[in-house]
Amino acid sequence: SAVISQKPSRDICQRGTSLTIQCQVDSQVTMMFWYRQQPGQSLTLIATANQGSEATYESGFVIDKFPISRPNLTFSTLTVSNMSPEDSSIYLCSVELLPGYGYTFGSGTRLTVV
């Protein structure tokens, strides 16, 4: 089965800095999704990334804070900018590998901002 690789798996960052998270899929996919999971909470969609167009952000998330790149059909990055402790979360990417088989998630990036 296809694999989603996400890195880094975890990081501890200073407030005010930025972190870029990478998501690599070993097959071509049209849409890639980025989610955030705050401590003890469920997953919330940040944005949808389509290759060749700007990402579509959900309510409460803005491009300046969470810029996304999607340079090709197998790769995407999410940057968490100007971080504060409130950004401490698990960030996950997701794709639909095959129609009718549901969505698969990367292993997640556990971010702690100090």
Answer for which of 42, 52, 53, 60 binds other proteins (CB under 8 A) is 42
Answer whether 111's CB lies under 8 Å from 20's CB: no
Q: Among residues 19, 25, 33, 70, which is the contact residue for other proteins, using CB under 8 A? A: 33
Binding of other proteins at residue 69 (CB under 8 A)? no
Compute the least distance from the CB of residue 106 to other proteins, in Å. Answer: 9
Residues making up the chain, counted from first to last: 114
Residue 110 touches other proteins, criterion: CB under 8 A: yes
The closest alpha carbon to 89, from 80, 99, 77, 98, belongs to 80
* 51 contacts other proteins (rule: CB under 8 A): no
Site for other proteins in 10-29 (CB under 8 A): none
Q: Which residues contact 101 (CB under 8 A, 6 or more apart)?
A: none
The sheet carrying 4-7 orders its strands as 4-7, 19-25, 75-80, 68-72
**Residue from 57, 61, 75, 105 that binds other proteins (CB under 8 A)?**
105
